[in-house]
Amino acid sequence: MKKINKPILIFILIFSFILASCNFPGSGNQRSSELDSINTSVAQTVTAESQATEDSTQGTTQEPSQTEISSSPTVTPTEEPTDAPTATEEPLPTDTPEPTSTPLPCNMAEFVEDVTVPDGKDYLMGDTFTKTWRLKNVGSCAWTSGYDIVFVGGDKMGAPDSVQLTSGTVDTGETVDVSVDLTAPDSPGNFRGNWKLRDPEGVIFGIENSSSGNFWVEIEIDDPGPVVQFDFHAQAPSATWVSGAGALSFGGPDNDSDGFAMYKDGEKVEGGATPDKVLEMHPEWVNNGVISGRFPSYTVEDGDHFKAKIGFLTFSDGSCGAGDVEFQFNYKQGGTLYPLDSWMETCDGSLTSVDIDLSSLSGESVKFVFAVQANGSAAQDWAVWVAPRIEN
């Protein structure tokens, strides 16, 4: 709708009141008074409108006086809240560096698994075996026939200094099995040999998944105890047996008055035991009778010891007879008999253990000789050597 100009509206309003006042009945004074009031009101209205128009035209707002504020309080409108979101400052974009890839070194390897001989496997001294590893090429260069594995320390176990890694080509990401032939050491204990790889230029490199870079072979050799080098019990039939009466055949009988040598395995001995390996030597049945046995030649090694138990057979109830003899352990070399040791024994209810170090004869080829001589009567001189042997 089109707005009517305020001065024109005021003019029309005043003019209408004047006309109305002329047509209303009543006293002149009353009309005059009313007219004055109207005129005053109109004048005030015109003044206010003019002032408002002027203020509007000038674009400024005039501060009301204290009197006007008190007589005509102004209601200050309350600003309605809005749901408009508070503007936040957007962060400025930053430059993020592009990731760069690190090139793989030429020579890199990883251990995959032990194909043979897991760590700690038990072997006997002197055993031969083959160790095989599976390795993976994780470098940028292919492995060719110029690559080797090389021994770098520890226990070599008879291995060569190096072994060819492959006769073909092992590209990046591929695996290869490589083997080395080894011999278990000749002593008990834990043994470990360490290995690495070597390229055609002679550069040695290790595996990535080991702090040392080494891959290895590790075995255990348990102590088997002393090893029997010469078994006199087993060699007895090959020995030369004689007594004061002359040559004897091994095996008895046990009532031969010339004396005898024979097995009495499993029969009761002093102390009540029934050992598996019992060699009886009974002297000729005369006072101070004697019997001896000379065994085949044996070359003594460093560390050899002669070991046995000596004593007597007993009656079936375990009681002793009248045995009383001298046991002798000798050796013969170049036609001469040499004593090593001797023991005077009687049947007293217990066997005697003997242990003679033969190191003084190391490297010598000799024939050992057992001898038993009666001390007086030879009756019931059932002398025995239990498990006689040379150990090392």
Q: Which of 166, 192, 221 is the last residue of a domain?
A: 221
Phi, psi of 9 (to 5 degrees): -65, -40
The verdict on 178 and 247 lying in the same domain is: no
On the question of pLDDT at 66 being above 60, the answer is no
The verdict on 234 and 152 lying in the same domain is: no
Average pLDDT score over residue span 167-196: 95
Decide: 135 and 178 in contact? Cβ < 8 Å: yes
- Measure CA 22 to chain center: 126
The answer to whether the predicted template modeling score (pTM) of the entire model surpasses 0.85 is no
Average pLDDT score over residue span 170-189: 95
The verdict on 233 and 354 lying in the same domain is: yes
The verdict on 386 and 308 lying in the same domain is: yes
The verdict on 268 and 348 lying in the same domain is: yes
Percent of the chain with pLDDT over 70: 74
- Measure CA 97 to chain center: 41
The verdict on 129 and 235 lying in the same domain is: no
Angstrom CA distances, 185 to 115, 127, 173, 216, 284, stand at 22, 8, 36, 16, 49
The verdict on 197 and 286 lying in the same domain is: no
In a domain, 76, yes or no: no
The verdict on 171 and 235 lying in the same domain is: no
pLDDT digits (tens, 9 = 90+) for 342-370: 999 999 999 999 999 999 999 999 999 99
Q: How confident is the model at residue 25 (pLDDT cuts 50, 70, 90)?
A: very low
Residues spanned by the domain of 150: 109-221
Domain count, the chain: 2
Eight-class DSSP state of 267 = -
CATH number of the domain to which 378 belongs: 2.60.120.200
The verdict on 260 and 380 lying in the same domain is: yes
